[in-house]
Amino acid sequence: MFGLFKRNKRQESTISVNEKVATKIVRAVALVQQRWARYMERKSERLSIATKKKLVILFCLATGGYSIYLAGESLFQKQSSVMKVTFIKRPQYVTQTGDEKLSPSIIISEKEYAKIVQFRKYMDSLAATRSGKWKADSILVARPGLMDSINHLEQLYHLQTKK
């Protein structure tokens, strides 16, 4: 009836190899635990109730005594530094941005800036005509980051003239 009551097709679950291996390991561990529990149950069935009580008391005394020993040792033993506090070493120039080391060798002269401006005007004038547009595009295809470099050089010039 118009697909309202169609059964959903079960999709095959795609279980990864890691999940399959993990499942097998979990099953193996559970099997070992069950066998160990059955073995211990069979062995403890033969013991009398009095013997079981004595074993529980012996276990409690042993673990309690060991806990008291550890607490006493930590209280009465002289302080030995298990962990030492040391300073974190940081690189020497973490707080510097690098602007401090801007060398004067990157200075752009007025003549160079004039050439940059002249080149920008030339590229703009090429884009005005159809044949010039084709030529400008071929230049930019041959040198993809050219105009970005021109912009960057102009920004550097303006930064150095502000100082």
Q: 0.85 exceeded by the pTM?
A: no
Per-residue model confidence (pLDDT) at position 9: 55
Per-residue model confidence (pLDDT) at position 2: 57
Q: Beta strands of the chain (E only): which ranges?
A: none
Per-residue model confidence (pLDDT) at position 127: 86
Per-residue model confidence (pLDDT) at position 161: 81
Per-residue model confidence (pLDDT) at position 34: 98
What's the pLDDT tens digit per position in 104-136?
566 788 899 999 999 999 999 998 888 999 999
- What single letter denotes the amino acid at residue 29? V
Helices and strands in the chain, H and E counts: 5, 0
What's the pLDDT tens digit per position in 56-94?
999 999 999 999 999 998 888 877 667 777 888 877 777
Q: What is the DSSP letter of 126?
A: H
